[in-house]
Amino acid sequence: FQLEKSSAVELYTYLTLILVCVLLYIFSDYLKICALAFRLPGPKSYPVIGNCLDIARKDLITREMAQAYKNYGPLARVWIFVFPMFVVFDPNDLKVILSSKKHTNKSMFYKLLHNFLGRGLITSSGHKWSSHRKLIQPSFNIAILEKFIDTFTDSASFLIDKLPKEETVLNVTEYVNNCVLDILNEAVLGVPVKSVDKKEMEQSPFRQGKVVAPYRITHPWLLFNSIYKLTDAATAELNQKKQLDDFSRKMIRRRREILKTLSPSDRRCLLDFMIEISNENPDFTEDDIIDEACTFMLAGQDSVGAAVAFTLFLLARHQDQQAKCYEEIERHIGTDCSKPPSAEGIRELRHLEACIKESLRLYPSVPLMARKIGEDVRVGKYNLPTGTEIMILPYATHRLEHIYPDPERFDPERFGDGAPHQNPYAFLPFSAGPRNCIGYKFAYIEMKTVIARVLQNFHLSPAPGKEEVQPIFRMTLRARGGLWVKMTPRKVVS
């Protein structure tokens, strides 16, 4: 009996050792990543939840992100639940990661956006991302994009019509966001601003999009889909996704009919291009069109809206820069608001573009991005193993003093014609490398057109008592309480 008992103990011991070895093998990469995380500096974290609650901190942007490089150096760690992530700040290190096609996969946390954005260019990875990018890229040729200037102009003129005709102090954020949505409705979905069905578009689900990813991160047990799908938040998000899909499908059916009679001189929209792609490539399905349309509509709203609003706010605070922009507008576009600007005229607004870029440096619309390392990478004196989750903070990188002296100062000359060559990985409002934003040229033309139209019609000055910015983070950057500007109508030719 003793021998049998001894044999059983040995058997259990061997099985336990085998199980431990198997688990160590399975989790070896995770354990290596955790071991590295414990060696690196980073913000104070708590057991199990890590740094999840930091997402809700009011000073996350102004204190933690802005001071991160000074506090932690070129490489830091954060914990999202029990998952370590590494924050890379230095442009030279970022170049190694962002310039390589081996590191194009998005972080696992982008899956939290699937029910919001779908599985389009922002959230997809691997073959789906690379094939969609290759198919859609020709539609963003500069010659095609400049044809949207009339759409930008119509929407900007519609914005001007809504603004008060007397001197007033107002929050420009809401006005600008509505203008950007009007642009996207026509440029992406093909619903003209001038002939829009107001009732239909006011009920558009793209006006009511709500992202719940930050909520799930601050409640880390909801990171598990098996738990999250039991919540009211999940039900609401899925219902929102269904409304977005149904509305997009309706727009696709409408554009398919319009394409049958569309003449070469008629305005086209991105749906038209994607329908043609789908007709020629069966692998690019209608569901893929919907995913990409949702991506362009939702990602293009807050990001461009915030950039335009911040630029107007900063130009109001810096009269010398506003004067240079207005002089440039007078020279290349004129003050006759009845005439749409030409593509050449918009291209020549170089100082205005520099002001937009400096605004994006100070207040990048997307202050946080994430990637998954495809192979081992050396960052400084540390080796980041394959599978490591990387976090990129443009808000922090844009404030590196050895690249941007006096980083809190608004200085468009950093991006002027005579500025020294800039490391492309030191300026990341639209990311960089193979996975940069496909629509960044579209965004610059759009922003220049809208801001030029506003400056043609209004002189901007600071709103008394509302001169300071309190940036907050909710997937995109925004200002707590809005961005307030005093707007004085100019005497213009019309």
Annotated binding site: 437
DSSP state of 207: G
Q: Is the Cα torsion angle 351, 356, 362, 367 positive or negative in sign?
A: negative
- In this structure, are strands 389-392 and 476-479 parallel, antiparallel, or unpaired? unpaired
Neighbours of 162 (CB within 10 A): 9
Q: How far is CA 252 from the centre of its chain?
A: 25
DSSP state of 64: I
Distances from the Cα of 269 to the Cαs of 190, 194, 255, 262, 293, in angstroms? 5, 15, 9, 11, 11
Q: Is the Cα torsion angle 163, 164, 166, 167 positive or negative in sign?
A: negative
The continuous run of DSSP H or E covering 99 comes out as none
Q: How far is CA 119 from the centre of its chain?
A: 15
The residue count of the chain comes to 494
Pairwise CA distance, residues 152 & 162, whole Å: 16
- How many CA atoms does the CB half-sphere of 456 hold within 13 Å? 28
Q: How far is CA 226 from the centre of its chain?
A: 28
Q: Do residues 430 and 446 touch, judged by C-beta distance below 8 A? A: no
Alpha helix locations (H) across 333-465? Answer: 343-347, 350-362, 394-397, 440-457
Q: Do residues 151 and 448 touch, judged by C-beta distance below 8 A? A: no
Q: Do residues 81 and 220 touch, judged by C-beta distance below 8 A? A: yes
**Coil/strand/helix, residue 123:** coil
What are the binding residues for heme?
A: 437
DSSP 255-310: HHHHHTT--TTS---HHHHHHHHHHH-TTS-HHHHHHHHHHHHHHHHHHHHHHHHH
